[in-house]
Amino acid sequence: MNFKLSEIVGHMKPSEIRELLKYATSNDIVSFGGGMPDPSTFPKKEIREIIDDVIEKNSDQALQYGNTAGLDTLRAELKKFVSRKEGIETDDDKIIVTAGSQQALYAIGRIFTDPGDPIITESPTYVGAVSAFNANAADMIQIRMDENGIVTDEVERRITDLEGKGRKPKFIYVIPNFQNPTGVTLSLDRRKHLLEISENHEIPIVEDNPYGELRYSGSKIPSIKSLDRNGNVIYMGSFSKIMSPGLRLGYIVSSEEVTNTVNLLKQALDLSTNTLSQFIAYEYLKRNIIDRQVPKSIEIYRNKRDVMLASLEKYFSDVGTWTKPEGGMFVWATVKGDINTSKMLMSAVRKGVIYVSGPAFTADNSHTRSMRLNFTFPENEKLIEGIKRLSEVVKAEEAKISNQAENKI
């Protein structure tokens, strides 16, 4: 039969990354495409010990349905964790555990926006946020970034302009630390300015911080939520990059009104987040494994970042420019010539290297000359080989374009 799907389905677009992951498993291909942690950073031994203990002592609860808001003990640990790491003072009932911060993004989109409502995001922004906000048919207004993050003067101008047309944005979504996809960090001044804008215009800020713990150089900058005196900031965290993404755990720290409303939505979505995963995360924090584990990941990733940056310097300088992230998982590279990275992708796959092209991170298919390169997943030799291949692909593409131009003359 011809199913008559909802109109909202028409706003969802397939993710280039999901398609690319098919190639990522082939051994000959260097994949800069996914946003995956290095599996050697997974605390396998510790997780096995925790699971053994939990099954022995708490299996009746751990294998049972759980509270929609999340395990009480985990929320109590999270309260301490965000205070210790991010200077965020909150209460257990202002925290809700979610199935990864991806679910948090969908939920926030769902509870704040009606179809067509404007929201402000960075340009480019996290591809999963594009999916989550598209799935709610929100109107993403994307604002330019520079080396200090989203250009807050433009945010303010744009909001004033939208308000003049009776279209107040429902929230401002930012990834302040080592942004996905650019790797750029929002400066302290801009964080303060964003808060000022939020207060003056009464627009909440959604602060998504999955990479905050993964800093390899430079100094930590206070979270926006820790600077917030008026409860304007909705903060999101994730266990994906500091423990394991397969356990699917994230959380929101906000007001009771927000967490209660997300709770209602979760009752419709999944009743509760995976209980066993929550027990694991609770013990991971409680036993303080996290403070031994994350420094190990930082060592590995700092080295990989440096290998990627050195390879770019060596092979890519004549064809493009790139960001130099102080943490996280991504470098954002932009080619100098008039090359469309989406169109170039199949040539890159044939040459044995993949990336995610710039337009995937936008609602308007801009950033056509850019691409996101992940440095945490490939091994060191592959990082070097991949950048070498990439620069050859770009050079071949440049040659193709200039041949075409000559043929036209």
Ligand X SMILES: Cc1ncc(COP(=O)(O)O)c(C=O)c1O
Q: Which of 31, 142, 180, 297 binds ligand X (CB under 6 A)?
A: 180
Report the alpha-carbon distance of residue 227 to residue 245 in Å, rounded.
28
Site stretch for ligand X (CB under 6 A), options 95-103, 260-268, 280-288, 297-305: 95-103
Compute the least distance from the CB of residue 66 to ligand X, in Å: 18
Site stretch for ligand X (CB under 6 A), options 6-14, 42-50, 99-107, 286-294: 99-107
Choice between 103 and 391, CB closer to ligand X = 103
Let me know: does 103 contact 236? Beta carbons within 8 Å: no
Which residue is closest to ligand X by CB? 100
Closest CA to 369 of 323, 330, 345, 333: 333
Compute the least distance from the CB of residue 153 to ligand X, in Å: 23
Beta-carbon contacts of 354 under 8 Å, excluding residues fewer than 6 positions away, are 20, 23, 24, 29, 30, 31, 32, 33, 345, 348
Residue 232 CA from chain centroid, whole number: 21
Compute the least distance from the CB of residue 280 to ligand X, in Å: 15
**Within positions 293 to 312, which residues make up the interface with ligand X, using CB under 6 A?**
none
Report the alpha-carbon distance of residue 273 to residue 266 in Å, rounded.
9
Decide if residue 240 touches ligand X (CB under 6 A): yes
Compute the least distance from the CB of residue 366 to ligand X, in Å: 19
Report the alpha-carbon distance of residue 251 to residue 156 in Å, rounded.
28
Choice between 162 and 233, CB closer to ligand X = 233
Report the alpha-carbon distance of residue 116 to residue 195 in Å, rounded.
25
Decide if residue 208 touches ligand X (CB under 6 A): yes
**Within positions 27 to 46, which residues make up the interface with ligand X, using CB under 6 A?**
35
Compute the least distance from the CB of residue 35 to ligand X, in Å: 4
Write the CA distances from 173 to 50, 198, 258, 277, integer angstroms: 35, 11, 15, 27
Decide if residue 100 touches ligand X (CB under 6 A): yes
Report the alpha-carbon distance of residue 269 to residue 89 in Å, rounded.
29
Q: Which of 37, 250, 320, 327 binds ligand X (CB under 6 A)?
A: 250
At residue 119, φ and ψ (nearest 5 deg) are: -135, 155
First to last CA, the chain: 53
Let me know: does 353 contact 124? Beta carbons within 8 Å: no
Let me know: does 282 contact 73? Beta carbons within 8 Å: yes
Decide if residue 362 touches ligand X (CB under 6 A): no
**Within positions 103 to 132, which residues make up the interface with ligand X, using CB under 6 A?**
126, 128
Site stretch for ligand X (CB under 6 A), options 11-19, 64-72, 238-246, 257-265: 238-246
Compute the least distance from the CB of residue 208 to ligand X, in Å: 5
Decide if residue 212 touches ligand X (CB under 6 A): no
Tell me if the bond preceding 124 is cis, omega within 30° of 0: yes
Decide if residue 101 touches ligand X (CB under 6 A): yes
Closest CA to 207 of 199, 227, 215, 217: 227
**Within positions 140 to 179, which residues make up the interface with ligand X, using CB under 6 A?**
175
Q: Which chain residues interact with ligand X by CB under 6 A?
A: 35, 100-102, 126, 128, 175, 180, 208, 210, 238, 240, 245, 250
